[in-house]
């Protein structure tokens, strides 16, 4: 299998659909396309996958709700706060010394701020953010599909949180997967009702893992074209799961 590292997720799925003989056709370029499977036309929109319910996807998109649910299930959360006042935010900063402000409903690395002074907090519209303790460490991503892990990789980009930061992704052989993180990733997806998700972890300098976030629309290109390590055709696996879902619905409707 070979894929260009420049291909985005939509293009990867389209290319995979071509290789699978599904006769894809763009409805909206680089966004929505139609495929033919089992004599019917189906639509693929990665950001609105039928594998995840609207409720489950909404819970995972909201970083604060995700933290609360992880807390209820005893998962190792990064210490967090959703302050209502700048005084509460300042107290959280004082407790931890260095924190990160993330948009509650954000995605990727956009609008993320490393905060070390109260003046930085005062420049933010606080109600839009969740605050988390800053922990330096290694990021790992475990990709879950229908209750099993289909790919794992490590991110390397230093201390930057900018969307334009240099980034390398090192893919892991299955024999190198952390069994405890495999199990917790599946549990987390199940707790949120997700059939497809990327569970991201932060390993601190003592190799203690913390759940960094849960993403229901993770980019797939790094699984197809990692900086190093095995490539995994997750686009095909995703499409096969979508087709199986549609065929199951058609069967139960007859």
- The CATH number of residue 33's host domain is 3.30.470.20
Give the residue among 103, 147, 132, 115 at the shortest CA–CA distance from 202: 132
pTM: 0.90
Distance CA 10, CA 7 (A): 8
Selection from 38, 33, 37, 43 nearest residue 8 by Cα: 33
What mean pLDDT is reported for the chain? Answer: 89
Q: What is the pLDDT of residues 85-98, one digit of tens each?
A: 999 999 999 999 99
User: How far apart (Å, rounded) are the C-alpha atoms in residues 254 and 250?
Assistant: 6
The per-residue pLDDT for 252 is 53
The answer to whether residues 143 and 98 belong to one domain is no
Residues 200 and 176 grouped into a single domain: yes
Length of the chain: 254
Q: Would you state the pLDDT for residue 1? A: 42
Residue 2 lies in a domain: no
Which two structure tokens, joined as six digits, stand for 205? 């300098």
In a domain, 4, yes or no: no
List, in sequence order, every beta strand (DSSP E) within the chain. Answer: 25-28, 32-37, 40-44, 80-81, 99-103, 113-115, 129-133, 138-145, 148-156, 168-171, 196-203, 209-215
- Residue 66 CA, chain-centre distance (Å), reads 12
DSSP 79: P
- 52-111 confidence digits (pLDDT tens): 999 999 999 999 999 999 999 999 999 999 999 999 999 999 999 999 999 998 666 678
Domain that holds residue 129: 80-133
Q: Which residues contact 34 (CB under 8 A, 6 or more apart)?
A: 24, 25, 27, 41, 42, 43, 44
Summarised one tens digit per residue, pLDDT across range 7-44 is 689 999 999 999 999 999 999 988 899 998 878 888 99
Domain count, the chain: 2
48 and 168 share one domain: yes
């Amino acid at each position: 299998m070979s894929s260009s590292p420049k291909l985005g997720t939509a293009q990867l799925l389209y290319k995979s659909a071509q290789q699978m003989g599904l006769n894809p056709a763009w409805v909206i370029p680089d966004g929505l396309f139609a495929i033919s499977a089992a004599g019917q036309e189906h639509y693929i929109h990665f950001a609105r996958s039928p594998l995840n319910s609207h409720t489950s996807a909404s819970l995972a998109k909201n970083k604060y709700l995700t933290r609360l649910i992880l807390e209820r299930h005893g998962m190792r959360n990064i210490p967090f706060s959703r302050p209502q006042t700048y005084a509460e935010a300042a107290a959280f900063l004082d407790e931890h010394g260095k924190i990160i402000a993330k948009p509650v409903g954000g995605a990727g690395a956009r609008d993320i701020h490393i905060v070390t002074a109260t003046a930085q907090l005062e420049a933010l519209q606080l109600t839009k953010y969740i605050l988390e303790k800053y922990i330096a460490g290694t990021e790992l991503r475990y990709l879950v599909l229908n209750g099993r892990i289909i790919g794992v990789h490590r991110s390397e980009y230093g201390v930057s949180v900018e969307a334009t930061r240099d980034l390398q992704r090192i893919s892991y052989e299955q024999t190198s997967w952390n069994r405890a993180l495999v199990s917790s990733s599946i549990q987390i997806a199940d707790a949120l009702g997700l059939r497809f998700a990327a569970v991201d972890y932060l390993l601190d300098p003592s190799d203690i893992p913390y759940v960094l976030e849960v993403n229901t629309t993770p980019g797939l290109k790094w699984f197809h074209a990692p900086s190093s390590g095995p490539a995994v055709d997750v686009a095909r696996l995703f499409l096969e799961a979508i087709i199986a879902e549609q065929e199951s619905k058609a069967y139960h409707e007859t």
